[in-house]
Amino acid sequence: MGKVLPFSPKPPAKFDFERVKKRKKDGPPPRDQLNLFSSGAQVLHLPSDISPFEEALLLDERGDSHTVDAYRRAIAEGDSPADAYCNLGILESKAGRVAKAFDCFTKSLEHDPRHFESHYNLGNLYLEEENVRLARMHYELATEVESGFPNLYFNLGLVHALNNDYPAALATLSKYKELAPAEEGTKADELLENLKRSVTE
């Protein structure tokens, strides 16, 4: 029988939260234009076809201080509420408001129980709070929704390793390496080697 080596208490850092991103449309949204045909130049505000959620996402990408209000407006207007709650949860988490982050992610799941990013982000939040049982549950639910996201398998592999389930950790981290670009896949190499030694020694 192989000797079981204890798993290092300081595993590599997990992958961070995953924001919901909207697919880009064919062209950029219309911009304000100068009216060149009047005596005094002025800015004309042309109607925009950008939705409240897309507006919030643009503000989020720029790190604008109005992002939270914009996501709340998208939710109030019923524009992609699951996505808006999810991205709002990331902002709450980064601001250190963990309870509000949990609330946002769960409200996202109320709107869409199969919301991939919310399950993944809840897994991350539970892992940060050292609740590996619930982290594992949300990561596994996320694999049922989207099976091709590599970072999910890395984080799930960490959870299996922390639970001393080395065979599951090996299989999951191998899946990560299979899906991740080669240059990113090396992140799991040292962890995989340690796990293999744990299983075989």
What does the pLDDT profile of the chain (201 residues) look like in tens digits?
333 334 443 445 677 778 888 643 433 344 344 444 445 555 444 456 899 999 999 999 999 999 999 999 999 999 999 999 999 999 999 999 999 999 999 999 999 999 999 999 999 999 999 999 999 999 999 999 999 999 999 999 999 999 999 999 999 999 999 998 988 878 788 777 877 776 665
Q: For residues 56 and 123, state if they share a domain.
A: yes
Q: For residues 112 and 168, state if they share a domain.
A: no
CATH number, domain of 73, equals 1.25.40.10
Q: For residues 173 and 102, state if they share a domain.
A: no
Residue 164 domain boundaries: 148-201
Q: For residues 73 and 104, state if they share a domain.
A: yes
Domain count for the chain, please give it.
2
Q: For residues 157 and 195, state if they share a domain.
A: yes
Q: For residues 123 and 179, state if they share a domain.
A: no
Are 156 and 186 in contact by the 8 Å Cβ rule? The answer is no
Q: Is residue 201 part of a domain?
A: yes
Q: For residues 129 and 158, state if they share a domain.
A: no
Residue ending a domain, among 114, 135, 156, is 135
- How far apart CA 69 and CA 97 sit, in angstroms, is 16
Q: Is residue 4 part of a domain?
A: no
- The pTM of the full predicted model, rounded to 2 decimals, is 0.78
Q: For residues 54 and 112, state if they share a domain.
A: yes
Q: For residues 107 and 181, state if they share a domain.
A: no
